[in-house]
Amino acid sequence: MSPLTITSRDAATGPVLEITGDLDHATAPELRRAVDNLTLTAGQLLVLDLAGLDYCDSSGITTLLAARNLSIDQHAAIALAAVPDNTARILRIVGLDRVFTIHPDTSTATAACSAVG
């Protein structure tokens, strides 16, 4: 089991949360708190960088959906970046690859948002 680490930084388009380790039943509340403590403004993009994610269970997926709901409530957008293959497979199976915007990395996500904005 890898401990969950959440690192927050600001990009020109909005906050980026770099999530590493295991996102599961025991650690999902940590991500939920981190997301709940964000203040998003209309038009911003929240990027969840999952490049360092080792494991994600259904609790983790639920927390990703909660982050999406928060973004929508605050009239912001959300994107997942660098989604590991095992997590991408789960997202495809349950159809969430059509719900989340997914980019190969954070710089692509923020560049896409800058081009639109």
pLDDT digits over 11-58, tens only? 999 999 999 999 999 999 999 999 999 989 999 999 999 999 999 999
CATH of the domain at 17: 3.30.750.24
Please tell me the total count of domains within the chain: 1
Strand partners, 19: 6
Question: Does the pTM exceed 0.85?
Answer: yes
Between CA 12 and CA 34 the distance in angstroms is 19
- What pLDDT score was predicted for residue 114? 61
Residue with tokens 């990395």: 105
Q: Could you tell me if 6 and 37 are in contact, meaning their C-beta atoms sit under 8 angstroms apart?
A: no
> What mean pLDDT value characterizes the chain?
95
- What pLDDT score was predicted for residue 1? 76
* Domain assignment of residue 83, given as a range: 5-116
